[in-house]
Amino acid sequence: MIRLSRFVPPFLSRWFDKWSHTVKVIRSNQQVMYALALIVTIPLILAINTFFVVDSMGKHMDYELRLKAELAGSIVSAYSSDMLAAPEQLQAKIEEIKTNSLYEAVKTIEVLVPSGEDFRVLSSTTPSRIDEIMPQWHYTFAWHEDESIATLVKQVEDGKEERVWRIVNPLHDEEGGKIGLVDIGVSTANIDAKTADILTRSWIVLLISVVVVLLLIATNAKLFEYELLFHKIQEVDQMKDEFISIASHELKTPVTAARGFLSLVQQQCATAAENTVDHQIQGDVEKAVQCLQRLSDLVSDLLDVSRIEQDRLRLVIQDVDIDEIVTDVVNQMSFQAKEKGLFLLLQKPNQAIPHIQADKTKMWQVLWNLVSNSVKYTMKGRVEVMIEVLPTFVRIRVKDTGIGMTSKERERLFEKFYRVMNRQAKDVVGTGLGLWITKELVQRMNGKIYVDSIEDVGSEFIVEFPISSNKQS
């Protein structure tokens, strides 16, 4: 294949290659093609509109000019019928009309009388034509048909061609008899010049518009590439979600099986005689169980992320006893809190706690994520879980004396894969998915979630859910 660079300068070759690539990108994307077609169509519509508007305006001005010529002919007719017997007076009147500024477009005025089969010029704005015999067909037609006739002709004057309306009107005496003809010639030069000027300006504006559009396309050619890149990223993102979903499902089974076998080994170690079990082996088994637990949590989080992003998360909204769920979460988390030397407290109101509308399993997951997150990031002190009943909703507050966070960290807290990374949190394990999943679940169950935090003081998470209309307690 012959390369373009062999025949043109390198910079032109690079420009051509870049333009060719852009054209390929545009062709491969229907949406970009549609946008480009729209950009091209707009100047085209402007061009068509300009042509028809100017053409229509020219025809309208021609018509107005013809009416003006007919009016001038009517005025001459009014005088001519009385002055045919006095050619000198008629000539003076014609020259007076010719010099009137109202009829500056009038080129010629001639009064003709029959002379055999032809017509003789009786009076004219061009005195040299007086007494000339004029055999033109339109005179004969206007005479025999006894009606006005208008003809648009081209004539050359001073080396310039111009269009002229020739209006021929029959002249009548007081009894209505035909006595002659009046021929008015009206030039369209001024109108043609103005029309041409308007048309030229319109085409210049149109040309500038086209150039601007072409420059816009050339300058923003990268936008078309970005559009295609965006669609490719969407496809890759969808493939990623599908891969995460498949991989998570495939990992869940062996991880669950491995956890089962290690749990069985732990039970056997616990029931075996102390002198028959190697403490090193027992410690390794416990570490393996912890690692598998983390892996299992990660797989579960990835599955949740995949279901949420692909809108495959199924929620069973029903009346939920929030008191029961909060109590269960606190009881299960109390062992981990005790291992870290933390106080895990539960405070309930002195009144019956109404049910809320939510998915029971996901509600448990939300509270578990919030409480476990507070225990995870609290090095000393306590974690308090408080239930408050308000007129229309139930509020659950999870407050800790942990490491807290800055305002900037708080703004990004609910982002996917975001984790607070500072000196105190560097040893805390996690994926940064828990709080993102929590927020998504809360919002999908028509709840609200808030966070307030002060660095080195602690954090407080608040979730609110509407009270069930069934008002069960």
Range of the domain at 376: 318-466
Could you tell me if residue 231 is inside a domain?
no
| Number of compact structural domains in the chain | 3
Backbone phi, psi, residue 277, to 5°: -110, 130
170 and 189 within one domain: yes
Could you tell me if residue 368 is inside a domain?
yes
Asked if residue 461 lies in contact with residue 471, where contact means CB atoms within 8 angstroms, the answer is: no
CATH code for position 103: 3.30.450.20
Could you tell me if residue 473 is inside a domain?
no
163 and 39 within one domain: yes
- At CA 230, angle to CA 226 and CA 234, rounded to 5? 170
299 and 282 within one domain: yes
In the prediction, which pLDDT does 30 show?
Answer: 59
In which residue are the tokens 């068509």 written? 48
Lowest mean pLDDT, pick from 61-75, 104-118, 332-346, 381-395 = 61-75
Query: 237-276: per-residue pLDDT in tens?
Result: 666 666 666 665 566 666 666 667 677 776 766 666 555 5
Q: Which of 247, 358, 364 is nearest to 306 (CA)?
A: 247
81 and 181 within one domain: yes
Could you tell me if residue 375 is inside a domain?
yes
CATH code for position 379: 3.30.565.10
Whether the pLDDT of residue 434 is over 90: the answer is: no
Query: 146-198: per-residue pLDDT in tens?
Result: 887 877 788 777 677 888 878 888 888 777 788 888 888 888 777 777 777 87
- At CA 65, angle to CA 64 and CA 66, rounded to 5? 90
DSSP 8-state class, residue 467? B
Q: Which of 288, 376, 368, 386 is nearest to 340 (CA)?
A: 376
Given 219, 252, 284, the domain boundary residue is: 219
Strands 149-157 and 160-172: antiparallel
In which residue are the tokens 């009076």 written? 123
Q: Which of 393, 387, 400, 242 is nearest to 323 (CA)?
A: 387
Could you tell me if residue 227 is inside a domain?
no
pTM of the model: 0.49
Do you know the residue count of the chain?
Answer: 473
Neighbours of 464 (CB within 10 A): 19
In the prediction, which pLDDT does 221 show?
Answer: 62
128 and 252 within one domain: no
CATH code for position 241: 1.10.287
- The span from the CA of 418 to the CA of 391, in Å, is 35
